[in-house]
Amino acid sequence: MANPNPHYGTGTFRRRVRVRAAPGQVTVELEDGNHGFRLRMWHDGARINTVELDPLRIPFNTCAEASKPLTRAIGHRLDEGAAVLRDRLVPSDNCTHMHDMLVLAAAHAASHRGEEATTRQYDMAVEDERSGVMRASVRCNGETVHEWEIAKHEIVAPAELAGRPAMRGFHAWASECFADLRLEAAVALQRAYFVAQSRRFSFEPAALNPGVADGMPHSACYSYNRSVVERALRSDGTVRDFTHTPDLLLKFLP
């Protein structure tokens, strides 16, 4: 069972996601304190043709296996939208983060126009809980999109969002309140908030903290599925703290 992180309350969880869309190809890179992934997706302008995933830093030895379900996206029509792609992929069969990266890649492939490559970078920061509140923000290409204060998994500020859930039930209200870039940024921030909870714990030594000891519900993601979680061993020395070094994100240092 994980132990409390003695440094929790003094740091900030950081995550960076970069999307580069060019004719026929989209690359998505993601790095945070727990993960490092690079995904490439090729398409012909109408359908997804190929998906390639590099698991550069992963929490469990089983996480890399989750790249296999991504191949279900091959043949997906780009004009069918994210909901159809999610159903096709079956989220619980996938790594949550790989799944999100592929859905993001498909959306940018569908919206990309012209011959010029476009780049969109999201930077999320979620401060450790202090006085019962976590402050979370997301910037897109350097410009702030959302700033939230969250207590007990519920947004308390800004006032117009007060009472909205930041965990279960998030996507339903966010899809009604936001659209386009603001919705994409909100989803990115919610995912960062979710993963930021891991900063509360220390999973060292890794050998004493296998996946089955986490107590996560089955089907929370690929590595927590039955027949997988029983052999999910935590990767040693892969957790990073980017509190004071956000510029190292997406450098994928060993």
Q: What percent of the chain has pLDDT over 90?
A: 95
152: CB partners within 8 A, 6+ apart: 132
Q: What is the mean pLDDT of residues 55-71?
A: 97
- The pLDDT mean for the chain works out to 96
pLDDT tens readout for residues 97-116: 999 999 999 999 999 988 99
Q: Helix, strand or coil for residue 108?
A: helix
Q: Helix, strand or coil for residue 8?
A: coil
Q: How far apart are CA 121 and CA 30, in angstroms?
A: 10
pLDDT at 219: 86
Q: How far apart are CA 138 and CA 204, in angstroms?
A: 29
| pLDDT band, very low/low/confident/very high, at 1 (cuts 50, 70, 90) | low
- The answer to whether the beta carbons of residues 76 and 60 sit under 8 Å apart is no
Residue the block writes with tokens 């929370």:
220
- C-alpha dihedral, 159 to 14 to 82 to 174, nearest 10°: -10
Q: How far apart are CA 127 and CA 177, in angstroms?
A: 24
Q: How far apart are CA 207 and CA 185, in angstroms?
A: 36
Q: Helix, strand or coil for residue 132?
A: coil
Q: Take residue 163 and report the two structure tokens written for it.
A: 């009472």
Domain boundaries defined on the chain: 3-199
47 sits in the region (left: phi over 0; alpha: psi -120 to 50; else beta) called beta
Q: Which of 214, 227, 232, 203 is nearest to 63 (CA)?
A: 232
